[in-house]
Structure 1
Amino acid sequence: MNATRTRPAPNGLETTFPPSDLFFSRTDDRGHILSGNTVFAQVSKYELADLVGAPHSIVRHPSMPRGLFRLLWTEISEGRQIVAYTDNLASDGSHYWTLASIRPVPGGEYLSVRAKPCDTATMEVVSGLYAQVLEHEQELAAGGMAARDVADAGYVRLLELLASAGYPSYREFQRELLPREVALRSEATASGGQHPSARRGRVHGELDDSHAALVQALDTLVGGLGPFTSESARLGDQAAYLRTLARTIRRFSLNSQILGYQVGDSGAGLSAVARLINDEAGRFAGLVTPVADTIASIREHLAELTFAVASAKMQLDVIDVFVTDLGASHVAPDGSTQGADPVRMADLRGLVDNLALDIEAAAGALHELQELSSGLDRPLGKVELVLSQISLLAFNGRVEAVRLEDPASALQLFNEVRALAKAAGSQLSGGTTLAGLVREAAREEMVVQDSLLHVLTVLESFGRAA
């Protein structure tokens, strides 16, 4: 195909496709298409033979800002995966939105897996951000700025807009986006009976069996991740609560010391209690920082885990679609079987290699979570112990307060301290359910690893036979 051919003018019409349709393409280090699957050809409305050799920008819609692609190339050229919404241009001028996951594969190539966006609310927000970036770029270009500099400026503007939307980095945005998209897509395909494996017949015997076992194992792992999201949110709330609580206890401590100073010698006992509360407030503050830091690290690894598993799920689903294509290409027009196309096998290996990377990342995150979660209950127990001591001291403060000529202010203060300590102790009691969740997920992840190893073994055998 002539890579410099004129792209069609957008006609404003949208090409739609079901959530079950997943497609991929493999490109070289310059972005020229090396291969793709039939779904890619069908949705883009090009012949697959015409797409091969063309720059991937042939399907780039002019509404997409240059800054997005500067971000994309920056990430993948540095070996990182990127997930992004893109609007694409079909050969007839219609457009189609995709959620794309792009990452490097061995040999200096890149593999892009794309799906129908299911989180329409987020996609509409992102589409609006793209429009703002594009307008910014057009203004700069009209002022004479070079195209490369326009792309750089658009890249910066896109990150600024995401930050204003609550995402300090693109990495944080995509780590939240992909698991939500994969979950919504799973719901859509399940409710519509559209899962590829449900409609696919047997095509390669043992490869089918090992692949089906891997699908089941990964689906079990994905299904068990729901509680992790709520646990992460709960831990985040708990960390914020602890920091606020430390400041509140310190304020009560200072107020009790001021009160002891004001009552003078008649409040010697009260002053002693105030000093002890101050000591415990210092201990509490010293415990809160490492606990909050541990919780922050746990939440970071939880985000890595859910992203890796979601990426693995998307990767495995497109492998499912791919194996169907592979089966069709394995049968000659006369009905006889023939060896697998080496290009197809390279595609499949790239997909499986990326799946292995995702599962390895999930295993690493689970290992870190096991270490962190097992060590969280002990410092939380110390926090509860300090709160119990503060509650007891507040009771002693009330005893000392009734000996004052005017006990009202002191009683109110120590009543508030005691109520706060008791309420905090109740809220923090019971530790966390995270350790149990992690242990169960780790067991399921081991099954996924074993199933993947079997797929890799069968794939190597299948490749040699081809």
Structure 2
Amino acid sequence: MKETKLNSNELFFSITSHDSTILSGNDVFVRISGYTKDELIGSFHNIVRHPDMPRVIFKTLWDHIKAGKPIVAYVKNKTKEGGYYWVLAAVFPLKERYVSIRIKPDTKVFSAIRELYVKLLMAESTGGMDESERIMPELLREVGYESYEHFMGDALLSELKGRQNLKSQSCMKAEDFVLVHPQLSQLKSAHTQCEILLQEYDRWFEKIDFFADIKSIFEEKGMALRYLARDIVNLSLNTSVSSYKVANGGETFGILARDIRINAKENDALIHQIHQTIEKLSSALNGIVFLVSAIRLQIEMVTYVIDEVLCKNSEVQMVEMRGNICDLIALVMEYSDKTKALQGELNGEIKEVLAYLDQLEKQMMYLGYVQVYGVIEAAGSSDESARFGIIFAQLKALIGETVQEIATMQKMGQNFDGENRSLMKRSEESVVILERLHEEMVMIKAREENHGK
């Protein structure tokens, strides 16, 4: 059971039909599997399936792709000679096909999941796949993931971050490389477009930590607002109860208690709306992180395949891989459209949160006026009502904390709004490059067809 070496800077892909028949793949896939291309094409993908893989992982994979959803999984595969190799596989449904892009895994996430797989295999050996499916959510929570979707987004992001400093194994040297076929020169132009796209999405990729920070801060601050709102409601009730115990001036404190209570309930309703919007915002941010990671991987795969063709300097290789390159570009364009749509949702949700925060800020200003009036009344009252000085001092502290949380969220929201607008503009520029790249491939196809005639 010797491990076959997959270099960290290599990528490989396969394209399969809905029944998992292998339709195509690149040179790295052929080399790493140990099979010839003729042996792979037309075979079911389980030709490389390793017995050490828990069956529940493949069930999860098929559940996702049959539902038209992408999935990411760590997979141990076997080679023709009986060896093995590990990959992080990202599988994307594309019309009537599935595109699977694989990279070498090398992160702490990978280490944790290998241990998890051992536990799943043990569960399957005693209770079958039903048992491993039952315990998998619990095992994922033990390593810090709320769900499989949470895990696969983090796994893809972690592995891609680890690849950022890697360079592809290009054998091309633009300054002295002579292409023997005219179409290859056109393909070289497409390669240049891909490199520009990679640079664009690298800029996007650099913002992923910012997206993650926004998500966690908004969730944290949203929860803090809910606790503060609860404390203000409780304080309003204490004020109301205390007002009944005051013989002289109790009516005034009763009115103040009522104003605080009404304001607190309105604030609570606003904070509930903020919390709901933040939940939608968090889900959309998770989606953006996954989509940007997926596109970054897809663009790198397109570039790598074109590079393989150019390195071979072969017209036959170009004709064979042209369809694959077109499929991969189509995949990038599809995910680019999804990203644009989700950015639009994010834009609307952040504006909604900011609008609610503005309303809450005004509510807290009014509550501040009530608090000041209450302090004045408490200062001019008899010793019997001295307790109100303490109550209104507590209210002042709660108002101050709430205003501070609102200000932090407003600042983060405004920063995010600006960043999102900038990225939306860059996204439009990337779409233009993508369309140009697609045109390059269409022209290559047309030239090939004319050449065949």
Deviation at 1:380, TM superposition (A): 0.4
CA–CA distance in structure 1, aligned partners of residues 417 and 240 of structure 2: 40
Deviates more, 1:381-390 or 1:88-97: 88-97
Q: Which residue of 2 aligns with 1:463?
A: 445
1:116 aligns with 2:104: yes
Deviation digits for residues 299-327 of structure 1 (CA, Å, limit 9, x no counterpart): 21111111111100001111111111222
Displacement of 1:396 after TM fit? 2.0
Length, aligned pairs only: 433
- The Cα of 1:34 is off from its aligned counterpart by 2.0
Match of 1:356 in 2: 333
How far did 1:129 drift? Answer: 1.9
Among 49, 66, 69, which residue is 1:77 paired with? Answer: 66
What is the aligned partner in structure 2 of residue 161 from structure 1?
Answer: 139
Question: Quick one: distance in 2 between partners of 1:15 and 1:260?
Answer: 79
SS of the residue corresponding to residue 310 of structure 2 reads: helix
**Matching residue's letter, 2:57:** L
- Aligned partners of 1:355 and 1:248: how far apart in 2? 49
Indicate whether 1:415 and 2:393 are aligned.
yes
The Cα of 1:349 is off from its aligned counterpart by 1.9
Moved more, 177-186 or 283-292: 177-186
- Alpha-carbon deviations, 1:202-246, whole Å to 9, x = none? 752322232233222222332344422212221111211121121
Structure 1 segment 390-401 matched on structure 2, within 5 A:
390-401=367-378
Corresponding residue of 1:436 = 418
Number of the residue aligned with 2:181 = none
* Percent identity (aligned): 25
SS of the equivalent of 1:262 reads coil
Q: Report the counterpart of residue 28 of structure 2 in structure 1.
A: 39
Q: Give the structure 2 partner of residue 301 of structure 1.
A: 284
Matched, 1:279 2:268: no
Query: Is residue 221 from structure 1 mapped to residue 199 from structure 2 by the alignment?
Result: no
Q: TM-score, normalised by structure 2?
A: 0.89
Q: How does 1:19-418 map to 2 (within 5 A)?
A: 19-106=8-95, 108-118=96-106, 120-140=107-127, 150-163=128-141, 165-186=143-164, 188-189=165-166, 194-195=167-168, 201=174, 204-331=187-314, 337=315, 340-342=318-320, 344-402=321-379, 403-418=381-396
Structure 1: stretches of 5+ with no match in the other structure: 1-10, 141-149, 332-336
| Residue 38 of structure 1, CA deviation | 1.4
CA distance in 2, matches of 1:288, 1:231: 18
- The Cα offsets for residues 241-272 of structure 1, whole Å up to 9 and x where unpaired, read as 12112111111111111111222444322222
The aligned amino acid for 2:407 is S
SS of the residue corresponding to residue 375 of structure 1 reads helix
**SS of the residue 1:351 aligns to:** helix
Tell me the amino acid that sits aligned with residue 270 of structure 2.
L
Structure 2 CA distance, aligned partners of 1:255 and 1:198?
76
- Give the match's secondary structure for 1:263: coil
Report deviation, 1:346.
2.3
Task: Quote the residue 1:6 is aligned against.
Answer: none
Q: What CA distance in whole angstroms lies between the structure 1 residues aligned with 2:68 and 2:151? A: 18
Which sections of structure 2, spanning at least 5 residues, go unmatched? Answer: 178-183, 449-453
When the two structures are superposed, what TM-score results if normalisation uses the length of structure 1? 0.87
- Alpha-carbon RMSD across the aligned residues, in angstroms, is 2.2
CA contact (8 A) 2:298 2:332 kept: yes
Deviation of 1:329 after TM superposition, in Å, equals 4.5
For 1:453 and 1:395, the matched residues in 2 are separated by 62
